């Protein structure tokens, strides 16, 4: 069937990004927090919503929210830009700095949205690979950015979907090798042993370092759609120039501002998940799978004696949904599981043992 009106020709080659949304009791496919935000936060937000002047536009500068984020990271509010999820932050960076005739670098396999949004904004994508342990190969990466001089270099740390955080040395080396921005996507930053924000504090002249974070994962607030970047005020101003006026609703701003008063609760949730990650890793290591160490809230693993797609399907039949990465380039045969609550992880492990055991005995799972 021919379309009503043809869309941009360069869009037709892009596949949409989405995770299979099939019904399941145990949902461990999109790296959300298994725990809801604190009840007090919910109550305070309800009060704030009740007091909102909905006939008026929200604060265009999101001043209070940005001040709160700035205080969290000990930076100035002019160094913070907030948007509807870190995906909108990434989109604003690409709208401001990308576009026809410019390029962005990624190191594959990594978060698909970096290259996807780049292409949607007409930015050329140049891609490097990774080492066997899925960290970025320093020499190869430097060679790539020196040669291509991308206006934006995306480093996902910890990397989704492979799990490891990149060293601060690597990020510093990339900054030295390029004249563009180095964008460190720290969606899982709080689960990792270090953050590029430390680099920003330690070293002068790192104005081209951009650190992107989100409330979606560690803050248990995926539904609120809130993310931000910490960068030089010039980068913040550029993002504000391309963002739509009043893009951040009054409700979103309040949700984030209030969440920032629950740092201890958030950190307690992160600690539980990090502990569960260790237990899940240990349990997976005993099964017929190869599993990679993770600094995030998910684990990448590869069944060694079974077809990954079949394992994924058999888990769905047992009402356990994880992420099938087995057809992604560089991740052949791999699956990714989000670390859930202790009971969710137990259900996942039980189902996986069942699937691996059953197929081993040659039964149809
Ligand atoms: C989940 C995720 C995001 C989050 O996107 P939001 O728009 O903030 O929900 C960003 N980057 C990476 C690498 C992610 O895995």
Half-sphere exposure of 112 (CA within 13 A, CB side): 11
What percentage of residues in the chain have a pLDDT greater than 90? 89
Tens of pLDDT, residue by residue over 258-309, are 999 999 999 999 999 999 999 999 999 999 999 999 999 999 999 999 999 9
Half-sphere exposure of 241 (CA within 13 A, CB side): 11
Mutate to test the pocket of ligand 1, among 217, 252, 298 (most ligand atoms within 8 A of CB): 217
The Cα 89–Cα 69 span in angstroms is 15
Q: Which two tokens stand for residue 262?
A: 């629950």
State the distance from the centre of ligand 1 to the C-alpha of 187, rounded, in angstroms: 5
Cβ atoms of 226 and 256 within 8 Å: the answer is yes
DSSP code of 227? E
Which residue's CA lies nearest to atom 11 of ligand 1?
187
Q: In terms of domains, do 173 and 229 share one? A: yes
φ, ψ dihedrals at 214, nearest 5°: -140, 155
Ligand 1 atom closest to the Cα of residue 111 is 13
Cβ atoms of 219 and 213 within 8 Å: the answer is no
pLDDT of residue 365: 44
State the distance from the centre of ligand 1 to the C-alpha of 261, rounded, in angstroms: 22
Q: Tell me, yes or no, whether 2 lies in a domain.
A: no
pLDDT above 60 for 193: yes
Structural domains counted in the chain: 2
DSSP code of 287? S
Which residue's CA lies nearest to atom 7 of ligand 1?
85
- For 66, counting Cβ atoms within 10 Å of its Cβ (0-12 exposed, 13-18 middle, 19+ buried), the class is buried
Q: In terms of domains, do 189 and 301 share one? A: no
CATH of the domain at 167: 3.40.640.10
Q: In terms of domains, do 19 and 149 share one? A: no
Name the domain boundary from 207, 239, 261: 261
State the distance from the centre of ligand 1 to the C-alpha of 149, rounded, in angstroms: 25
Tens of pLDDT, residue by residue over 141-186, are 999 999 999 999 999 999 999 999 999 999 999 999 999 999 999 9
State the distance from the centre of ligand 1 to the C-alpha of 188, rounded, in angstroms: 8
Name the domain boundary from 242, 261, 280: 261
The Cα 220–Cα 39 span in angstroms is 12
For 98-137, where are the alpha helices, taking DSSP H only?
Answer: 112-120
Q: In terms of domains, do 216 and 316 share one? A: no
State the distance from the centre of ligand 1 to the C-alpha of 17, rounded, in angstroms: 12
Ligand 1 atom closest to the Cα of residue 227 is 8
Q: Tell me, yes or no, whether 365 lies in a domain.
A: no
Q: Which two tokens stand for residue 304?
A: 């060694």
The sign of the dihedral angle between the CA atoms of 278, 284, 286, 291 is negative
Ligand 1 atom closest to the Cα of residue 217 is 1
Which residue's CA lies nearest to atom 3 of ligand 1?
187
- Which residues form the pocket of ligand 1, taking CB atoms under 6 Å from any ligand atom? 31, 85-87, 111, 156, 160, 185, 187, 214, 216-217, 222, 227
pLDDT of residue 10: 85
Ligand 1 atom closest to the Cα of residue 222 is 9
Q: Tell me, yes or no, whether 1 lies in a domain.
A: no
State the distance from the centre of ligand 1 to the C-alpha of 352, rounded, in angstroms: 27
Domain, as residue range, for 100: 39-261
Which residue's CA lies nearest to atom 4 of ligand 1?
86
pLDDT above 80 for 339: yes
Q: In terms of domains, do 50 and 101 share one? A: yes
What residues are paired with 291 via a beta bridge? 301
Q: In terms of domains, do 347 and 205 share one? A: no
Q: In terms of domains, do 252 and 184 share one? A: yes
Tens of pLDDT, residue by residue over 117-131, are 999 999 999 999 999
In this prediction, residue 189 has a pLDDT band, given cuts at 50, 70 and 90, of very high
Name the domain boundary from 240, 261, 282: 261
b/e 29-64 (16+ beta carbons within 10 angstroms → b)? bbbbbbbebbeebeebbeebeeeeeeeeebeeebee
The sign of the dihedral angle between the CA atoms of 235, 112, 187, 86 is positive
Ligand 1 atom closest to the Cα of residue 84 is 7
**Strands 209-214 and 227-230, how do they pair?**
antiparallel
Cβ atoms of 115 and 91 within 8 Å: the answer is no
State the distance from the centre of ligand 1 to the C-alpha of 183, rounded, in angstroms: 13
The Cα 152–Cα 116 span in angstroms is 14
Tell me if residue 309 falls in helix, strand or coil.
helix
Q: In terms of domains, do 255 and 269 share one? A: no
Q: At what angle do helices 308-317 and 342-360 cross, to 10 degrees?
A: 120
In this prediction, residue 203 has a pLDDT band, given cuts at 50, 70 and 90, of low
State the distance from the centre of ligand 1 to the C-alpha of 228, rounded, in angstroms: 11
């Amino acid at each position: 069937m021919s379309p009503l009106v043809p869309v941009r020709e360069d869009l037709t080659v892009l596949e949409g990004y989405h995770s299979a949304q099939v019904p399941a009791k145990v949902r461990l496919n999109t790296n959300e927090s298994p725990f809801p935000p604190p009840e007090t936060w919910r109550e305070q937000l309800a009060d704030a919503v009740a007091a909102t002047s909905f006939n008026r536009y929200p604060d265009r500068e999101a001043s209070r929210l940005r001040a709160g984020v700035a205080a969290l990271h000990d930076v100035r509010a002019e160094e913070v830009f907030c948007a509807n999820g870190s995906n909108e932050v990434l989109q604003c960076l690409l709208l401001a700095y990308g576009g026809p005739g410019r390029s962005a670098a990624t190191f594959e396999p990594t978060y698909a949205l970096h290259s996807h949004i780049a292409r949607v904004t007409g930015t050329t994508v140049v891609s490097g690979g990774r080492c066997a342990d899925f960290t970025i190969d320093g020499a190869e990466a430097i060679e790539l950015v020196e040669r291509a001089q991308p206006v934006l270099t995306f480093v996902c740390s910890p990397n989704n979907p492979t799990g490891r955080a990149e060293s601060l040395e690597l990020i510093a080396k990339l900054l030295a090798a390029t004249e563009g921005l180095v964008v460190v996507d720290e969606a899982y930053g709080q689960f990792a042993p270090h953050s590029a924000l430390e680099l920003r504090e330690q070293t002068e002249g790192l104005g081209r370092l951009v650190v992107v974070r989100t409330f979606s994962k560690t803050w248990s607030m995926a539904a609120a759609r809130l993310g931000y970047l910490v960068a030089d005020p010039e980068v913040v101003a550029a993002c504000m120039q391309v963002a739509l006026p009043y893009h951040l609703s009054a409700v979103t701003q309040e949700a984030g501002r209030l969440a920032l008063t629950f740092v201890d609760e958030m950190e307690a949730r992160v600690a539980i998940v990090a502990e569960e990650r260790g237990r899940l890793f240990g349990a997976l290591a005993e099964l017929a799978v190869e599993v990679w160490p993770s600094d995030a809230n998910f684990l990448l693993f590869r069944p060694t004696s079974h077809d990954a797609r079949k394992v994924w399907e058999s888990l769905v039949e047992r009402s356990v949904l994880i992420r099938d990465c087995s057809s992604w380039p560089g991740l052949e045969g791999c699956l990714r599981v989000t670390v859930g609550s202790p009971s969710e992880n137990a259900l996942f492990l039980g189902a996986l043992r069942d699937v691996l055991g059953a197929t081993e005995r040659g039964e149809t799972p």
